[in-house]
Amino acid sequence: MKWPTLAAAITSEVTASLALRAAVDHPAWYILVVAGYSLSFVLLSAVLRLGMPIGVAYGIWAATGVALTALLAAAIFGDPLTWIMGAGFAAIIGGVLMIELGSREQATP
């Protein structure tokens, strides 16, 4: 249940972030911004209650959220994507993998 809950938290956060961008032109989107961020934090706390370490949960939530928001903002709003951003995505993926693998190594005696 940890991973699906974390995926839902990420999806909610990304949705809220994209709605924040949309709210610049259409303030009604602020309703989704507040609801999305609120739900995201509720789900993230549920992940912690399910036993996922905070470093792993928050690291994956934040890093994945940044990458997905940037990619979707490019597709939806025409925001720029550069090769430097691509390198950043690779660094994010590498960092998340290192955090996850490091937490597993620590957990096994």
Q: What is the pLDDT of residues 54-73, one digit of tens each?
A: 988 998 899 899 999 999 99
pLDDT at 96: 81
Structural contact between residues 23 and 37, judged by C-beta atoms closer than 8 angstroms: no
Per-residue pLDDT reduced to its tens digit, 5-43: 999 999 999 999 999 999 999 999 999 999 999 999 999
One-letter amino acid at 21 equals R
Residue 33 Cα distances to 65, 82, 108, angstroms: 14, 27, 40
Q: What is the CA radius of gyration of the chain?
A: 15
Residue 25 Cα distances to 29, 30, 37, 42, angstroms: 9, 11, 19, 28
pLDDT at 97: 82
pLDDT at 104: 72
**How far is 56 from 52, CA to CA, in rounded Å?**
7
What's the whole-model pTM score?
0.85
